[in-house]
Structure 1
Amino acid sequence: MGDTGISVDAQARRGLWVGLGWMALSMGSFIGMSIGSRELAANLSIRQVLFFRALVGLFVIALFMRSLWPEIRQMRQFRLQLIRNTVHFTAQYFWTIGVVLMPLASVFALEFTMPVWVAFFAWAILHERPTRARLLAVLGGFLGVLVIVRPGTGIVDPAAGLVLIAAMGYGLSLVLVKLLTRQNSPGVIVAWMILIQLPLGLVAALTDWRPVHIADLPWMILAGAGALSAHYCMAQALRRLDASVAIPVDFLRVPLAAIVGYLFYHEAIDIWVFAGAAIILFSNLRALRAERVR
């Protein structure tokens, strides 16, 4: 009996850390996608950026289509797949506008108002009961974001409102992914994302098409592969973690984006970024410790 308890506890700990590993890969992929998208948008329209991201994803998915096809043709939760990807495509469009027009750290910071929506949709749709530790992690992460961006000191931008709308869409999308993982593997969720969003992107791109050059190819690959990897890793993480645990960890994307923005685009960075990151990290570590005990 005691050995069984120890085995279950060890399995739970392993699942937690594996989930966190997938979250780390997801964060790196999202940042890579943002760099590729910004570089592409220097020559192409934002609608083309969304289309080419999905097109690159199609080539990657094609390599695994033989193994994924038996599950894809079952079309499990297809209506939910359509809803999730329509919401996600719209959110991506607004988010990409923010990536092009605003500093990366500001975009990711505004995006992380998303946990408020995740908590709401997780309660309304998944019936997840938010524990005190998780709520404190969300609040601590949000406080860290406020320390980084210091509202009223230069972050005001017309694109900010679009990023906030995107955050709400991403929050709903993530909760729907959690729901989809009950009947679909992460690979099939990502495959449906490409199969649904590719035609949506093509229709949108044709309304604002610009010449494509060979120099755009590396950025297409980075943006497309980053998008595919980010969502696959996020789906894997959400199979092992509650949405309200995974999202506070994802707050670490903000200081990472600030560093990338400084190194690649000479965007201003100061001590407040690291102060906010410390608050985010401390909040997440406390939540993870409480989660392990629970």
Structure 2
Amino acid sequence: MAIPSLPLQKNVLKAVLWMMGALVSFTTMALAARELTHEMSVFQALSFRSIICVAVLTAIAAFNRFEGVRTDKIGLHLSRNVIHFAGQFGWVYGLSLLPLAAVFSIEFTVPIWTAIMAALFLGEPFTRWRMISVAMGFVGILIVVRPGAAMIDVAAFAVLAAAMAYAATFVFTRHMASTERPFTIVFWMNLIQLPLGLIPAMTMWVTPSPENYFWIAAIGLGGLCSHWCVAHAMRHADAAVVAPMDFIRLPIIAVIGFMFYDEPWNPYVLAGGVLIFAGNMVNLWGERRRR
């Protein structure tokens, strides 16, 4: 999701508070996906997310007389969101099978893949700091999945592919940000992804049990609130301040996995996640020096 191009209003405390909201939202959405896929398909879980998001965003658009949804870049929106939906599918599929901490560790490679794709498709410089960041990220991935270990399976590769898909959508967003409003991008994202999930979901539809109504609301509202909170955090502090706070998701989800899902502590996952995170921070620090 694009970050609104609003003036930076330095206030680290507000940035921290908004990021706490983002952490709660991301974690809630992950838990909702895990719980819902115990009962229904990944397609159906994603359909509920899109239905709720489209309903909320349509109400906002109607209040503003639909001024923020008009676009002449429908082809770009379609391409971006087919890729993003594939990423969402891989992420939720991984959450249904892998330890939660492993999914989050692999997900932290998104900035690394974004740096590679931005250099290939947008002509952004591939500096030595980005090369170091990419190298650290690859080593971190190897530590997390450990070739020859049980972690190597379809679900792990699905999450890794999801991280690549998310990176591709960020590249699309950078390309579109000069002409498309953030609300336009988010509105079309959910509207296009609704039939992508709903059509296959209808072939294997399961009537949700009443105890899952909470998780249905959580996966939809969590998806909206997470990006909203990150956008506001970026208004009050730069990426070098906000990005490290996102890493708190890993120990939080590891504790939740241990307490509620009997997932054992895996030092390899945590060590790989730390190395991937360190690679992201090297890239941020290098970019600040270069500028």
TM range (shorter): 0.7 to 0.9
The residue that corresponds to 1:69 in the other structure is 66
Q: TM-score, normalised by structure 2?
A: 0.79
Q: Rate the CA distance shift 1:246–1:97 in 2: closer, same or farther, 3 A.
A: same
Question: Following the alignment from structure 1 to structure 2, what is the Cα–Cα distance between the partners of residues 231 and 127?
Answer: 27
Deviates more, 1:83-92 or 1:136-145: 136-145
Please name the residue that 2:47 is paired with: 51
Question: Which residue is 2:89 aligned to?
Answer: 93
Identity of aligned residues (%): 38
SS across alignment from 2:205: coil
Q: What is the root-mean-square deviation in Å for CA atoms of aligned residues? A: 3.7
Name the CA distance, whole Å, in 1 between partners of 2:179 and 2:232.
Answer: 13
Conserved in 2, the CA contact under 8 Å of 1:27 and 1:230?
Answer: yes
Match of 1:32 in 2: 28
Contact 2:143 2:271 (8 Å CA) reproduced: yes
* Equivalent residue for 2:98, pick from 102, 109, 112: 102
Unaligned runs of 5+ in 2: 1-6
Equivalent residue in structure 2 for 1:198, among 184, 194, 201? 194
Give the unaligned 5+ runs of structure 1.
1-10
Matched AA of 1:97: Y
TM-score, normalised to structure 1, is: 0.78
Give the corresponding residue for 1:223.
219
Q: How many residues align structurally?
A: 283
Of 12-21 and 61-70, deviating more is 12-21
1:139 corresponding residue in structure 2: 135
Whichever residue aligns with residue 71 of structure 1, its letter is G
Paired amino acid for 2:66: W
> Counterpart in 2 of 1:5?
none
Question: 1:210-268 CA deviation, whole Å, 9 max, x = no partner?
Answer: 1123221110111111222334456678999999x998986664444323322331211
| 1:114-133 to 2 correspondences below 5 Å | 114-133=110-129
- Work out the CA distance in 2 between the residues paired with 1:194 and 1:33: 16
CA distance in structure 2 between the aligned counterparts of 1:128 and 1:19, rounded to whole angstroms: 28
How far apart in 1 are the matches of 2:138 and 2:212? 36
Instruction: Tell me the residue number matched to 2:3.
Output: none
User: For residues 265-288 of structure 1, what are the alpha-carbon distances to aligned partners after superposition, in whole Å with 9 as ceiling and x for unaligned?
Assistant: 121114445544544555455544
